[in-house]
Structure 1
Amino acid sequence: MRALTYQGPYRVQVEQKPDPRIEHPQDVVLKVTRAAICGSDLHLLHGLVPDTRVGCTFGHEFTGVVEEVGKEVAQLKKGDRVVVPFNISCGTCFYCQRGLTGNCENSNPGSDVASGVYGYSHTTGGFDGGQAEYVRVPFADVGPMKIPDDMDDESVLFLSDILPTGYQAAEMGEIKGGETVVVFGAGPVGLFAMKSAWLMGAGRVVAVDHVPYRLEFARKFANVETVNFKEVGDIVLHLKEMFEGRGPDVCIDAVGMEAEGSRAHRVLGLGLKLEAGAPTVIEWCINTVRKGGNVSIIGVYGPPWNFVPIGTAMNKGLTLRMNQANTRRYMPHLLEHIQKGRIDAKGIITHRFPLEQAPDAYHLFAQKRDGCVKCVLMPHGHA
């Protein structure tokens, strides 16, 4: 099959790889119909994630058609159309039983951090991702969700990751009605966090970014106020003043470590293979939010080091919540929001490419050119 492969920092190419096969009776093999490029894929592209091996295939946001079925799979059959959560979860372990599928202990054994994840280095299990013609899906009765016959793949594609991730970000902020919310980052996850905040009853939502076209997109797509942090003197003081000098009730970090990495991160990350990131946005959240407020962190960081003003958080009486998104638990609920027109999930797609042009798509997305918000790959053309 044809698949995107990692060739080292800043280099990916499409080449021939062996077709995936059934390796366990609970596996299926999918023919991939759509695969998106995620902001966190840029961390891989830029060499910032440890144990990203040459030849591996990225991609943890995808839909597909079931091609082969393991003998123990009961819920799926050949020909079913499915959307697949980015977390690989067994459904039976301590964490899965509690709905914490992003923390499954069987799909990435030996790790005390994340579950298995498609196409996200050997630190998350070494599973090949979906930016390919075909992909192997383990625990097929647990993760994949069938796509309704009257819906196209792109309408539900983002149930795989960024829509549940944005929704969980808002939920962790404990938005119940009337709260004021600041979302740092107007990328795809931030956009869905903004939409979700409104769905939960937020009274006011402000987006913070520095890329003008992303802020304009946020105004139109999510109906929010916007602040360009490069156009104000002190972003923390500016935001506090927008909220009566106290700050907002909720701050959401939808940025994480900068996709390019800070200068120190590039030196340490590339030199020592330590994934962590500049905690700039965490600092902004802690310093901006009102006393007794909530900080929700959904942006990707990594161990082992981050310099966070935890003393300020303690003295302000803040609640900090964070996790990988527990994608599967939100998928049915968010599907209903899409079906009822409350969220136009595919409305964030700005670019579509055949699989062969995936390297160009990566660089366009990474460099924030041509108004790119979200890229989708089509491994089998428009079918």
Structure 2
Amino acid sequence: MNTMRSAVFDGDGRIHVERTSRPQPSSGEVRVRLQGCGVCASNLPVWAGRPWFRYPFEPGAPGHEGWGEIDEVGDGVDGWHVGDRVALLSGRAYAEYDVAGVDSLARLPSNAATRPLPGEPLACAMNIWRRSDIRVGHVVAIVGVGFIGALMIQLAHRAGARVIALSRRPFALDVARACGADEVLSTEDVHAGIGAVKELSVGGCARVIEAAGEQATLDIASGISAEGGRLIIAGYHQDGPRQVDMQQWNWRGLDVINAHERDPVVALRGLREAMDAVERGAIDPFPLLTHRFPLDRIGDAFHTLSTRPDGFLKAMVLA
């Protein structure tokens, strides 16, 4: 057959799965038989049906955390072969097949030979890590312990930093401990959380990574940054404008880093660094991949992401 199943987003929380044509790789591309795709929080507005989108979406879009096995190689492709397991940077991975250029591929590590591994969010984590400039002895706060926050805790702990993790979810605080956090604090009482971090860090943290994408977590991250410190915005803020205390930022002389990358060269570097980090054991994403859904239940995956039940960190759709 020359068809495949693809998810099509219709807006207002509606997704249907239909038969579509399999894509064909062009010159310099490969086709990947997808084994799955991570479900990204940045796709929630698409699922919800925000008015600035046009529906229906292209089949498979906006899935961008795909992995699988190369099943066809286009002209002019060297070094990649049918059967290679890869993570790919693409945009139509809520489907059974997708295509990607060779400048958008990374080999899956050997310790993921039979395990699911969405690569793109790991690439994001590595790019955030690079821009955070965390060093031995730094006091580092991670505000928001989801999938990305947990990975940042692992990296900071292994780099020799003292790590303070903050979350409103008790389950997430347990995850933070397992990932190597030295201290875990609830953000249920914002002012108490800020005060506790200042006491533990003796005035503030040299590095603060905001990883939840909410006004409240941005406020907390600002409040616990040390003078001359670095505040890294890793959370994806997508539900409207934000307010910041510029007097506080000015007075403390903060370096404020937007850690989101749009350069495809940087994204690919992060993807390949991430696969190497998994191979070496520098990060362990597998316990953080908490929920799996078949493609025909992709709507349930997004409902779970939106409600974040106890025990949830990261959902995947398996093709």
- Which of the five TM-score ranges fits, normalised by the shorter chain? 0.7 to 0.9
Structure-2 change in CA distance of 1:175 and 1:228 (3 Å) = same
Q: Is the CA contact (8 Å cut-off) linking 2:128 and 2:260 kept in structure 1?
A: no
Which of residues 67, 79, 98 in structure 2 aligns to 1:135? 98
Offset at residue 180 of structure 1 (A): 0.5
Q: Tell me: CA distance 1:185–1:43, structure 2 relative to 1, closer, same or farther (3 Å).
A: farther
CA RMSD after TM alignment: 2.5
Give 3-state SS (helix, strand or coil) of 1:292's partner. strand
Contact in 2 for aligned 1:4/1:58 (Cα 8 Å): no
Structure 2: stretches of 5+ with no match in the other structure:
none
1:301 alignment counterpart? 237
The correspondence of residues 184-203 of structure 1 with structure 2, limited to 5 A, is 184-202=143-161
| TM-fit CA distance, 1:20 | 2.0
How far apart in 1 are the matches of 2:238 and 2:112? 36
- Aligned twin of 1:69: 73
The offset of 1:302, in angstroms, is: 5.7
CA distance, structure 1, for counterparts of residue 84 and residue 313 of structure 2? 29
Q: Alpha carbons of 1:207 and 1:48: their partners in 2 closer, same or farther (altered >3 Å)?
A: farther
> Amino acid of the residue matched to residue 215 of structure 1?
L
C-alpha distance in structure 2 between counterparts of 1:304 and 1:58, whole Å: 21
SS at match of 2:104: coil
Whether 1:238 and 2:190 are equivalent positions in the alignment is no
Show the 5 A alignment for 1:8-87. Answer: 8-22=11-25, 24-48=26-50, 50-51=52-53, 53-56=55-58, 57-85=61-89
Q: What amino acid is the match of 1:13?
A: H
Structure-1-length-normalised TM-score = 0.73
Query: Which of these residues, 267, 274, 286, is aligned with residue 346 of structure 1?
Result: 286
* Offset at residue 77 of structure 1 (A): 2.7
Change beyond 3 A, Cα 1:132–1:49: farther
Higher strand content, 1 or 2: 2
Rounded to whole Å, the distance in 2 between the matches of 1:284 and 1:172 is 20
Task: Say which SS state the counterpart of residue 27 (structure 2) adopts.
Answer: coil
In structure 1, give the amino acid aligned to 2:17. Answer: V
Q: Between the two proteins, what is the percent identity of the paired residues?
A: 25
What number of residue pairs does the alignment pair up?
Answer: 310
1:358 and 2:259 correspond: no
Q: Is this contact kept in 1: 2:290–2:315, CA < 8 A? A: yes
Q: Deviations over 1:156-213 (max 9, x none)?
A: x24x2222322332332221110011111110011111111123221x1111111222
Give the drift of 1:251: 0.7
Aligned 8 A contact 1:34 1:154 in 2: no
C-alpha spacing 1:228/1:12, structure 2 compared with 1 (3 Å): farther
CA distance 1:286–1:13, change in 2 (3 Å): same
Range 50-59 or range 184-193, more displaced: 50-59
| Kept after mapping to 2: 8 A contact 1:33/1:153 | no
Matches within 5 A, 1:209-224: 209-224=167-182
Hey, what does 2:128 align to over in structure 1?
169
TM-score normalized by structure 2? Answer: 0.87
CA shift at 1:8, angstroms?
A: 0.6
Letter in 2 for 1:136: V
Distance 2:239 2:309 in 1: 31
Q: Which stretch shows the higher mean deviation, 63-72 or 191-200? A: 63-72
Mapped to 1, the partners of 2:131 and 2:300 lie a distance apart of 35
The one-letter amino acid of 1:292's match is G
Superposition pairs of residues 240-259 of structure 1, within 5 angstroms: 240-244=198-202, 246-256=203-213, 258=214
Q: Give the Å deviation of 1:307.
A: 2.7
Contact 1:34 1:153 in 2 (8 A): no
Map 1:364-383 onto structure 2 (within 5 A): 364-379=304-319
CA drift of 1:357 comes to: 1.7
Q: How far does the alpha carbon of each residue in 1:67-87 deviate from its partner, in whole angstroms, 9 at most, with x for none?
A: 2322132232333221114xx
Tell me how far apart the structure 2 counterparts of residues 375 and 343 of structure 1 sit (CA, whole Å). 18
Correspondence for 1:316 among 246, 252, 261: 252
- State the SS of the aligned residue for 1:301: coil
For 1:49 and 1:81, locate their aligned partners in 2 and report how far apart those are by CA, in whole Å: 38
**Given the superposition, is the C-alpha separation of residues 303 and 55 from structure 1 closer, same or farther in structure 2, using an over 3 Å criterion?**
closer
1:136 & 1:171 partners in 2: Cα distance?
Answer: 28
CA 8–318 in structure 1, closer or farther in 2 if over 3 Å, else same: same
Amino acid at match of 1:296: I
Alignment equivalent of 1:178, drawn from 137, 145, 150:
137
Gaps of 5+ in 1: 86-117, 120-128, 259-278
Matched-pair contact (CA < 8 Å) for 1:69–1:76: yes
Tell me which amino acid in the other structure corresponds to 2:10.
Answer: Q
Moved more, 283-292 or 72-81: 72-81
Alpha carbons of structure 1 residues 5 and 284: separation in structure 2 relative to 1, 3 Å? same
